[in-house]
Chain A
Amino acid sequence: MPSWAEFQPYIVTGLALGGLYALSGVGLVVLYRATGVLNLAFGAVGAMGAFIAYSLIQAGDPGWVAWITCIVFGGVVTLGYGMVFGPALAGRGPLVQSISTLGLALVLFGVIDLAWPTTGGQSPSISFPTDNGGFSVGQLQVNWTQVIALALGVAITVGTAAFLRFSKLGTAMRAMANDREITATLGVPIRRVEAAAWLGCGLLAGIAGIMLADLSALDDTTLTFTVVISSLAAALIGQLRSIPVTFAAAIVIGLVHDLITPITQISNYQDMTPFVLAAIALLVMSRGQVLSRSREEG
């Protein structure tokens, strides 16, 4: 078993990843609460935005233009999808609505493979200026990108929670989550609220995509699937409802995933982390439901 000192560096990398999983998970939860759709294309949208950013940087555009383009791309594509397919699928069940976003994910995945082929062993990558700066905590090296990743996770979580609680639009979203039909009869512009949720989710996908392209890899498979798996697991643990629990679960998933790294006996299984944690959480939560139902029936 590695010593405590050997685990320490992975706290930093795990927290950074956890922060990004958190903002992704929050994006998924907000969209689900407002529209009832689990956006499985979250990772693919961010991935394509990151590849576009990479191409812009390669073409000589300033980094900030590329980063903003990635975020805007995420917002526009997700909003466009929501506006075109959202109304048509609104009457269908959650299975149909969610699987249709998987369709979008696979289309984008294919487009990335076509537009940015990996011939010749070339490897695209994105770096931020913040990669080169940072500070030390004892033996630990922390760079600013990692700090920004965690800070974004915290800020998005706090900001979203406050937005849902205190803003008019947020209140409308919460109302829709509770009862969509009654909310509509009260005169809430449902389509506009849904559009805001799609846009917000897309912008977060863009942010997650560009940040993970730096912190993890500019790789379509990694960005399309890994992000969604980890953030979906966090959202599941938050029962697709609780933003604070989703945040905490995402941080734990990021931390556990990276803290397993020095334990060589199990490090090759670290990709199972989101599954295992989500399964444990669901089992524990369903056990509580069974007990309470038993009591009610008794």
Chain B
Amino acid sequence: MNRPFHGRTRTAAAVVAAVALGVLAGCSSSSSTTSASTATSAPASSSAASSPSSSSSASTVSTSSCGTKPGVAATGTPINIGAINTKQPGTDFSDIENMAGAYFACVNANGGINGHPIKFFPETEQTNPSQIAALAKQLVTTDHVVGMMGNSSIIECSVDAAYWKSVGIDVLGAGIDPECYSTPNTASVNMGPRYSSDGAVQYVLAQGASKIAFDQSNVPGTAYIAAGPNAVAKAKGVSIQDFTENVPITSANAIATKLVTAAGPSGAVVLNFTPPEALLILQAAQKLNLEDRVKYWACSTPCNTDFLATSLGPKWNGKLFVNAELTPLDGNTSATAQLFDAILKQYGSDVSGGVGSFSEMGFTIAEIGTHALESITGPYTIASVSAALEGVSNYNTGMLCQGYTYGSYSEHIPNNMDYTVTPDNGKFVEASTGGGCTLISASDPQIAAYRAIAGTAPMAS
């Protein structure tokens, strides 16, 4: 029977509405949490937009150079290597292990490791600690991996650090959470959000910014990340104001206005967000004509993706500066860049993002891992692989500013020298002023502590 919508019915509807508010908020906040974790910790984003490779047109390096016996497939006993990447809606780091897998496939097709093929076990997780812990145990006990090369996960380092130590496995990956840099059994090829933010702040300070507004997503761990940029700015006597935002961002216009007001006309806004969130703030600034109301805009590594440069347009050329942890590939004709292109083309069908920081990281991890495995003369065991990794010293990857050293240290920040790039008509190119390799300031106490035990690695040569 139809009833009028007043009286008791409207009261019921109001209750439904109130409950719905809660339900929707719950959906909203759970979603936010997922994105938030991503935002804090995402390493450099891959650039799906940038499929054309830097140097393929002039490529003189073929995939045969990735192994010791060109064209001869490895047939010996396989060397089992594992990797764990986060892959979930909104957060997909799997291009890192996919590119590492492509590199290993190339190695296997060209002689392998002293005749042994690498059998790669790439796994994905959905930021579930029990799932991640189970995956690690499965890789070791069921798949019998002797090394972990290609890890990149929002929480894997913190979940598995104790386990890797207990079984003696040294991990080579692309780090995100603090434990990827502060534990003895994990070393990364990237700098992670804290040191990348250090680099971005350091750059704008070097260019003369008189005040910093540092903004990042509001998730656990932001205080740890902010401690780095704060130390760097304070060492220069420049005031810095920290902000955090709930993600996904719902009011980018207000945030952009707030940051510009805080930084002032001679200051700089520095962002540490995933590309979509950073782009929202930058586009909001553009819509409100705020981009010239501060001296500089800067970003940690995740902004280093061509689609962001394309989306922003030429107004940001030389205005936005992004920390880059690995060498810019656009226009790069080095042998390493050409090998990267050749492997991506021949073996990288699973690398959905194409050329980008994720695939660069996967390439670099596999390159260092292969170098370490090739140094082993006896059987391939957890102990021998870990020892080989720890023996990697000042290895020139062609992708990093410094030679790469794993070492036997209580903590690992082997990549602590960076580039700075700026948009140039839809691409990111090395900034013409001060954009080359620059050491991350030891004003960050974590960097100072690492250099105290490991020294300062020289420039790669």
Give chain A's interface residues, CB within 8 Å of chain B.
6, 9-10, 13-14, 16-17, 32-33, 36, 38, 40, 90-91, 93-95, 98-99, 102, 113, 117-123, 125, 127, 131-132, 134, 141, 143, 145-146, 177-181, 184, 215-217, 219, 221-222, 224-226, 228-229, 232-233, 235-236, 239-241, 257-258, 261-262, 264, 267-268, 270-271, 274-275, 278, 282
Bound CA span A123–B252, Å:
14
Q: Which B residue's beta carbon lies closest to that of A128?
A: B287
Complex contact B248–A222 (CB within 8 A): yes
Q: Which B residue's beta carbon lies closest to that of A9?
A: B257
Q: What's the least CB distance linking B205 to chain A, in Å?
A: 22
Q: Which B residue's beta carbon lies closest to that of A130?
A: B287
| Contact of A38 with B27 at beta-carbon distance under 8 Å, contacts A13-B257, A222-B250, A268-B246 already known | no
| In the A-B complex, the 8 residue pairs with the closest CB atoms | A120-B48, A121-B45, A123-B276, A225-B28, A120-B353, A180-B2, A179-B4, A121-B275
B218 within 8 A of A: yes
Per-residue contact bits, chain B 244-258, to A (CB 8 Å; 1 contact, 0 not): 111011111111011
Q: Which A residue's beta carbon lies closest to that of B351?
A: A120
Q: Which A residue's beta carbon lies closest to that of B20?
A: A40
Q: What's the least CB distance linking B267 to chain A, in Å?
A: 15
| Contact of A120 with B356 at beta-carbon distance under 8 Å, contacts A125-B279, A236-B18, A240-B17 already known | yes
B346 within 8 A of A: no
Q: What's the least CB distance linking B297 to chain A, in Å?
A: 17
Within 8 A of A (CB), among B11-36: 12-14, 16-18, 20-21, 23-25, 27-28, 31-32, 35
Q: Which has the most chain A C-beta neighbours within 10 Å: B10, B24, B243, B252?
A: B24
A184 contacts across to B, CB distance below 8 A: 2
Complex contact B24–A236 (CB within 8 A): no
Bound CA span A177–B261, Å:
48
Bound CA span A119–B9, Å:
45
Complex contact A10–B20 (CB within 8 A): no
B275 contacts across to A, CB distance below 8 A: 121-123
Complex contact B218–A216 (CB within 8 A): no
B276 contacts across to A, CB distance below 8 A: 118, 121-123, 219
A98 contacts across to B, CB distance below 8 A: 13, 16-17, 20
Q: Which has the most chain B C-beta neighbours within 10 Å: A33, A118, A145?
A: A118
Contacting A38 at CB < 8 Å: which of B1, B20, B352?
A: B20
Bound CA span A175–B138, Å:
66
Per-residue contact bits, chain B 289-314, to A (CB 8 Å; 1 contact, 0 not): 11000000000001001011001000
| Contact of A94 with B12 at beta-carbon distance under 8 Å, contacts A119-B48, A121-B274, A225-B27 already known | yes
B253 contacts across to A, CB distance below 8 A: 13, 16, 146, 215, 258
Contacting B21 at CB < 8 Å: which of A10, A99, A262, A274?
A: A274
B12 contacts across to A, CB distance below 8 A: 93-95
Bound CA span A291–B356, Å:
66
Complex contact A221–B20 (CB within 8 A): no
Within 8 A of A (CB), among B32-65: 32, 35, 42, 45-49
B89 within 8 A of A: yes
| Contact of A131 with B14 at beta-carbon distance under 8 Å, contacts A13-B253, A257-B251 already known | no
| Contact of A120 with B352 at beta-carbon distance under 8 Å, contacts A125-B279, A239-B10 already known | yes
Bound CA span A219–B276, Å:
9
Bound CA span A201–B89, Å:
30
Contacting A10 at CB < 8 Å: which of B2, B5, B257, B286?
A: B257
Complex contact B302–A121 (CB within 8 A): yes
Bound CA span A178–B20, Å:
24
Bound CA span A134–B356, Å:
37
Within 8 A of A (CB), among B237-290: 243-246, 248-255, 257-258, 261, 274-276, 279-280, 283, 286-290
Bound CA span A134–B289, Å:
10
A95 contacts across to B, CB distance below 8 A: 12, 16
| Contact of A226 with B254 at beta-carbon distance under 8 Å, contacts A131-B287, A180-B4 already known | no
B95 within 8 A of A: yes
